[in-house]
Chains A and B, each alone.
Chain A
Amino acid sequence: MATIELKNVVKKFGEKYAVKPMNMTINDGEFVVLLGPSGCGKTTTLRMISGLETVSSGNIYLDGRDVTWAHPSNRDIAYVFQFYALYPHINVWQNIAFTLQAQSVKKEEIGKRVRDVAALLKIRHLLKRYPGGLSGGDQQRVALARALVRRPAAFLMDEPLGALDADFRETMRAEIKHLHITQKATTVYVTHDPIEAMAMGDRIVVMSDAAIQQIGTPAEVYHDPANLFAANFIGSPGMNLVKGHYHAGKINLPGGGIYTPSDIWKARIEKQVGDDQQVILGFRPEAARVVTQDQISAEVFLAEMNGSYMMLDLHLSDEVIVRIRTNRGSYSLGTKIHFDLDPQMVRFFNPTTEAALVME
């Protein structure tokens, strides 16, 4: 069990920042997800915590102990990779026991710990098999078992589900989260998949351009994204972001629609952006409701059946598309529809700073 603390941690490759000065604390027993697109610095951060990568400056603390320059093997942290990195020539039992044998743990103790961890991950029937004959999901279970059996202070996981089929990914996602609930080990988990981040994280660290954009619980980053990047990246699809012109209590939207914010939002917009200014209206696909008339109108560009619901791509104007979620129905290309927005789920952003307007 451990807390992990990063203080002004920086990584530069030549002149280029891979990670800009970063500060964060991961609490004991917490499951924290580093989320961002490829190249945002999330894996580099994870590798610095593990010691596989050195820091350019700053400090990393494990349970208050400065481990910035400690060898990876002295950090008591287990690392699970996207590609399972199992030894193909030894069986599952030996793969799991390997690190314990290297630490010269007693034979009976090894046997017990391997059996326990195999039971936990439901792979007891696979112990005599070789990794090559296992499915992707089972190989990743073995990789997890190998990490768990060490009983490390913390787990670092680098897209462990990335190589699995969609179907398996969902099952393993639930398994890893369930494992965390029962084991309560401090975990830092890296992914580019916002769904995975939402489903698994106690907190999510949204990253882009080598910097943290927002840290928050799934509900916080989903409902109150800190800026345009987080708003668009979280959610599947992301938040609709429509630039309009605010004047005298109304926002003129592209295509001629008008949105009237609540009085509280009017005050915030006037204070934080100003009257007669551009402002960005943000709303999630489920915040829109198709109505018979009034409010905002748009033309159906595409209707996607998603199983239990439909996702409509709507053209507000030639340039501006929004996506809204609605009940199953028949919407043909080019139809004009109207929608309004749930006032509780509307957010605003400053187009210049890209930051969300704050709720004072």
Chain B
Amino acid sequence: MSELILQNISKTFGSITALNDVSFTVNDNEFFVLLGPTGAGKSTTLRVICGLEKPDSGHVIFDGEMSDDLTPADRDVAIVFQQYSLYPTMSVYDNMAFPLRAPGRKVPEDQIRKSIEQAAEKLRITHLLTRKTVQLSGGEMQRVSIGRAIVRRPRVFLMDEPLSNLDAKLRESLRAELKHLQKVEGVTTLYVTHDQIEALTMADRIGVLNHGKLIQLGTPEDIYDRPANIFVAKLVGTPRINLLPVERQNGGWNITGLEININLAETNDLPESFMLGIRPEDVSLNPSGEYPGEIELSEPLGVETIVHIKSGTAEITCLAHGLVQLKHGDTVRFDINKNHLHYFDEQENRI
């Protein structure tokens, strides 16, 4: 059982504000993902939680206990880094045993063996235990790093982009394994990434961080379906959401650049001009569709095809099902699913 609370954390480095009044709670057993671009303050947050960095103000609370004065060692958190940082001269077994053999712990060797064997089985690295870590592949090394963190049974797991250095294929399989492991083991986990797919697929809840500020907090569905502002809308979802400036004209709404008027349902509450967000999967190709366009580029991905359409002076990205054979210059017609539109005001906030 463990719960982690960050309360009004601020941290500056000289004139740079790294964290600006950040508060959130990672609940017991929760997989919480902190998502943001490079420089958002994700790693600083982790360092504050570990005790490697002292916040200017605010508190880190573990299970109701103020931890401001605890040393990193006394906080009982385990961290897995992007770079594996294993001891190259030691075997996998000794690497995993290392934290348990620390002077303060005095764990008996037979108990160490038991926990390592259990963790190794879960991570499917039993056959590697006697190997030296230099002989391992990247994916195997990251499994060992995770194993080393698991055997400690820390109250909170911190992970700093642990999959970033791996090949696409490996990343995908390890992602699923990690998520499943977390659910089965029930360890409270704070996972930091800049990869929105990792965040959506793994998280129970996501905190979106930008310029040291927490922008939105919610389930993957909340973040994807109701992004709080344009920044979040652009950050999650691939291909990226279409954003089109819209102005009121002659009682209708004109999508700037698009040759057509679009009749929007909830016209009453919308300002004179705003930004319209349309997810690419809400644009569909249809021979008798409402809007005309011309193909700029099509990118067949397999299960779907990203189609870049030019309509008037606007460029719209469509995610079409299956492998669609379209060439540069082909003319098409398309529809927009008006039940899933997103509106943003001039301050870029969701209306």
Contact = CB atoms under 8 A, between A and B. Distances in A.
A307 B297 contact: no
Contacts of A178: 296-297
Nearest to B327: A181
Contacts, number: 106
Contacts of A170: 238-240
A219 B323 contact: yes
Contact of A236 (B37, B302, B325): B302
Interface string A160-181: 0000011100100110011001
Range for the number of chain B residues in contact with chain A: 35 or more
Given A302-B180, A306-B197, A233 B302 contact: no
Nearest to A313: B176
Interface residues of A, number: 43
Contacts of B299: 173-174, 177, 198-200
Interface in B300-319: 300-303, 306, 308, 319
Chain B contact surface mostly: mixed
Given A178-B297, A313-B176, A333-B183, A305 B224 contact: yes
Contacts of A207: none
Contact of B301 (A198, A238, A306): A198
Most buried by B among A38, A166, A313: A166
A171 to B, nearest CB: 8
Contacts of A313: 176, 180
A305 B180 contact: no
A235 interface: yes
Nearest to B296: A178
Interface stretch (A57-65, A189-197, A248-256): A189-197
A305 B169 contact: no
Given A192-B167, A286-B303, A307 B176 contact: no
A307 B300 contact: no
B63 to A, nearest CB: 26
A306 B201 contact: yes
Contacts of A233: 169
Interface of A: 37-38, 165-167, 170, 173-174, 177-178, 181, 192-195, 198-200, 218-219, 222-223, 233-238, 284-286, 301-302, 304-308, 311, 313, 325, 328, 333
Interface of B: 37-38, 167-169, 172-173, 176, 179-180, 183, 194-197, 200-202, 220-221, 224, 236-240, 279, 281, 296-297, 299-303, 306, 308, 319, 323, 325, 328
19 contacts: A165-B194, A166-B194, A174-B306, A181-B297, A181-B328, A192-B169, A199-B299, A218-B323, A219-B325, A237-B172, A302-B183, A304-B200, A304-B202, A305-B220, A306-B197, A307-B237, A308-B279, A308-B319, A311-B201
